[in-house]
Structure 1
Amino acid sequence: FRRVHACVDNDKTHALPPSLGHFKLFNVGQPAHNLPPSILSKGGVFLSMYQREAMWMSFEPAYPKQAASHAVKISVGGVNVLTGLPQNQSVEGKQDYVVVGGVNGQKWLDGICTTPSVVRQLVAMPLGTGYTVEGQVTGKEDVGGIQIDVFEQYSSGDCHFTRNGLGSPNLNNYMSPRQLGLRHGDIVHLEYSVSYKLTLLNFHDVSPLISTISVFQSTFGKGKTLRDYNVQNGSTLALLVCFGSRLGDVPPGAHMISGIAAGGQISQKINRDPHPAWAYNTSNATRLHLTVINAAFFTQITGLPSPPSPISPQTYLQLKLPWYSLYDEQIPAANNFMVSSPLANVKSVGQMMGDDRAATGRIHSRPCGYCSYELATLRLSPCGHLFCDNCATTRLCPSCGVPVAHRLPFAAPMPVPGREDGDGVDATSLDERIIKLQASAKVGEVLSFKLETHAVAEPSGISNPEVRVENRGLM
């Protein structure tokens, strides 16, 4: 996740702006006692962004030498950034994920796809304001943040199919016989090599991508035999598992949380996946939930200084920083865009602010300054404190005691979203999720929770008329 300035929000489609460095990520399990229940219930990581600050994502496979790719579904507030559909829905034949790794993997993603090969920047705006993509598409702002679901490609190991035996080109393991042009009676040859590593892994629930075999404190190299390492009968092989961080209605504290809104336009293509969607293991997806904290509350939550404020486009020009363009004309674009895509009608922050100019005194929704059960609906004058209808009936301001001259309404009455169903987790309780969050943080791991209401659909891409994959719900 990288910092970047917000492009000018006009009719121009901009080149890729330069990066300002990484956002610092924080494990939700570390400051658990200071975080709102809505963040704790999802786990994952959080970062801090200023209002209207932009970000972009860069992708790099953890194992660059591996030929396998991953399908990565990205959602903002539960809305898929490529299709505009809820994260638990998909349309057959439409690629709703970016492919990371492999030959033509996606390098960068700067925004939501509003038209083919054009994205609008990912810009932070407070929840409850109606500016977010989630708010415009769903009419609610009860998820927030960014959700990333990773689907690992099925591994064919060292198995290869050929039509005419040794020396012939390998057939695509993920294509059907009809797609390969095979006919009844054709002979297909299977070439394979025995892998001691995969044989050992058959006894353990461990991915070959995160494990190595060690013999006599030396790594067991690919293509080597036991004789190469002088392994005798009775010798012990060690299986080393290298685990990384496991990524598996506006709630209380919503004023601390931001959602993702749409910013200026950037030219960016989503690369087409050469593999079909069924090439990925949909039964073992990994979830990372990223919460975006309003920078104004960063110190209150973490005790650390606030991050530096973003620089302006004028500063970019003064520093003569370069803008970028990807030379990827040889890579086909993904078939992810739909004419009826909800993202096509998403307004940018600038457009919405322009629409709101007539509504003077517009205030972002915040909890009542007294009861915290209701969203604020009134601003008291002259002090400016915010309260709900029920708490603004006194002659003196409940916060400062100043006599109330006027009560200025700016929103309809509404309870703080998230308080109705009690789905949140109390940080001081013995809830199993809190225990797991804190235990993971102590060993440097990140834990995300897949809430039933935030389920994600399996990747959708190239349709296959011959194969129908059974729908399997994620745990």
Structure 2
Amino acid sequence: MALGLDRDALLFEFPDIHRDAVLRVEFQRTLRVPDDGKRHRLPPGFGRFPLRAVDDLDPARVPGDWIKRGGVAMPMWQAEACWLSFSSPNGYPFLLKVAAGKVNAVNGKPWDNAPDFADQDHVEVPGQPWLDGFCVSKGVVRQFVAMPLGAGYTAEEQVAGKAEHGGVQLLAHPIKAAIWEERRAAREAAICPVPFDALAIPLPPPAAAPAMAMGLAPGGSIVQEIARPREKPDAWDLLARSRCFVHLANSLAWRAITGEAPPTVPPTAADYARAGLPWFEWYADQPAKEGSSILAALKSVFALGAEKGETPLPENESFDPPEPIRLGPAAKERLDGRW
């Protein structure tokens, strides 16, 4: 197993399993949708967040727990949003677990290295092209929004009652090589049609320093399905796994940590919508997972801020979204277009 960086993307590689076993994970900068009681469509990506290997940073400039956990570091502004993009360049299937502050983003349970097949705690790639937030109900997620640890807003603090980990945790298992080889042989012999895992899925176009540790908190609601698994549990090679801890640093501290300027603050969702720029809608071709009761019980940043008498979300202006651009294998072509 190998874990690497390629142009600010994480690469989970399993050359000992199969040469095709490569998983790519990107953290996309995006608009923070308003937390206004509406269900918003998928916001665009504005390019990848910069990722830096912790081992390459000056140990005197980073917290001690970063050194212990390894992984990578990434800057986010307070109240900035992100989404995760998943792809397998060769179509090789992966089981991927995603957590924030060691709270599983799919089922809300505490982190466990072992997959939970009874209460789905993972996504399958290909099949799930991205993840924008915490799965709170069937077809709805609450957007990932960065908040400082210790302020009480993160999912970790609301579920576990403490600010201990922060960041994002990822764990990947590849499918068994024998299964992949069987599918490749069948496809090459034209015995079966192209399977779902060979579909090309388009992405929305991109349009111990004073480091403040950050975690992810639930923001506004986004229409997004978490696909139910297609693979059988025994299809996965559970002896082969790779993990990565993604540390989130407040962008104000990024220069002190890395010597680099952080990315600029993205535009507001309302300004983006007023400019007539596109939103997206994903049409899946498989059943969606029910939401997590644990995650559904979390208070959004806006709601919790109101209880505290605080305004943690600047520029939370609501707006009327335009007709979304439809993506996905189940999307229907529309002959009339937009007038």
State TM-score, norm by structure 2: 0.72
3-state SS of 1:151 partner: strand
Residue 177 of structure 2, aligned match among 147, 155, 158: 155
Task: Report the counterpart of residue 97 of structure 2 in structure 1.
Answer: 73
Rounded to whole Å, the distance in 2 between the matches of 1:72 and 1:298 is 28
Task: Report the counterpart of residue 258 of structure 2 in structure 1.
Answer: 302
- Say yes or no: does 1:93 pair with 2:48: no
Task: Report the counterpart of residue 469 of structure 1 in structure 2.
Answer: none
- Say yes or no: does 1:62 pair with 2:62: no
3-state SS of 1:59 partner: strand
Report deviation, 1:106: 0.6
- Contact kept? 1:127, 1:255, Cα under 8 Å: no
Residue 168 of structure 2, aligned match among 146, 150, 157: 146
Rounded to whole Å, the distance in 1 between the matches of 2:102 and 2:256 is 27
Task: Report the counterpart of residue 288 of structure 2 in structure 1.
Answer: 333
Rounded to whole Å, the distance in 1 between the matches of 2:239 and 2:263 is 38
1:254-265 → structure 2 map (5 Å cutoff): 256-265=212-221
Letter in 2 for 1:345: A
Higher percent of residues as strand: 2
Identity between Structure 1 and Structure 2 (%): 35
CA deviations 1:7-50 (Å, max 9, x no partner) are: 11021010001112111111111113221111111111111000
- Contact kept? 1:126, 1:255, Cα under 8 Å: no
- Contact kept? 2:58, 2:257, Cα under 8 Å: no
Rounded to whole Å, the distance in 1 between the matches of 2:129 and 2:182 is 29
Residue 4 of structure 1, aligned match among 6, 30, 53: 30
- Contact kept? 1:69, 1:99, Cα under 8 Å: yes
CA deviations 1:199-241 (Å, max 9, x no partner) are: xxxxxxxxxxxxxxxxxxxxxxxxxxxxxxxxxxxxxxxxxxx
Rounded to whole Å, the distance in 1 between the matches of 2:279 and 2:191 is 45
Q: Cα gap change, 1:42/1:322 in structure 2, threshold over 3 Å: closer, same or farther?
A: same
State TM-score, norm by structure 1: 0.52
Rounded to whole Å, the distance in 2 between the matches of 1:150 and 1:254 is 32
- Contact kept? 2:209, 2:257, Cα under 8 Å: no
Q: CA RMSD in A?
A: 2.5
1:51-450 → structure 2 map (5 Å cutoff): 51-64=78-91, 68-88=92-112, 92-101=117-126, 105-156=127-178, 158-159=181-182, 256-328=212-284, 330-334=285-289, 337-338=291-292, 341-357=293-309
- Say yes or no: does 1:38 pair with 2:62: no
Rounded to whole Å, the distance in 1 between the matches of 2:268 and 2:297 is 27
Task: Report the counterpart of residue 6 of structure 2 in structure 1.
Answer: none
Q: Cα gap change, 1:37/1:326 in structure 2, threshold over 3 Å: closer, same or farther?
A: same
3-state SS of 2:257 partner: helix
Rounded to whole Å, the distance in 1 between the matches of 2:192 and 2:253 is 59
Report deviation, 1:84: 0.3
Rounded to whole Å, the distance in 1 between the matches of 2:230 and 2:311 is 51
Q: Cα gap change, 1:83/1:361 in structure 2, threshold over 3 Å: closer, same or farther?
A: closer
Q: Cα gap change, 1:137/1:90 in structure 2, threshold over 3 Å: closer, same or farther?
A: farther
3-state SS of 2:254 partner: helix
Letter in 2 for 1:15: R
Gaps of 5+ in 2: 1-26, 184-189, 194-207, 313-339
Aligned residues: 264
Task: Report the counterpart of residue 246 of structure 1 in structure 2.
Answer: none
Rounded to whole Å, the distance in 1 between the matches of 2:242 and 2:229 is 19
Report deviation, 1:58: 1.1
Report deviation, 1:144: 0.7
- Contact kept? 1:127, 1:144, Cα under 8 Å: yes
CA deviations 1:54-99 (Å, max 9, x no partner) are: 00011110323xxx41000000000110100011176552221110
Letter in 2 for 1:114: V
Residue 23 of structure 1, aligned match among 28, 46, 49: 49
Report deviation, 1:312: 1.2
Letter in 2 for 1:63: N
Letter in 2 for 1:82: V
Rounded to whole Å, the distance in 2 between the matches of 1:27 and 1:169 is 42
Letter in 2 for 1:44: G
Give structure 1 regions of 4+ aligned residues with deviation exceeding 6 angstroms.
167-170
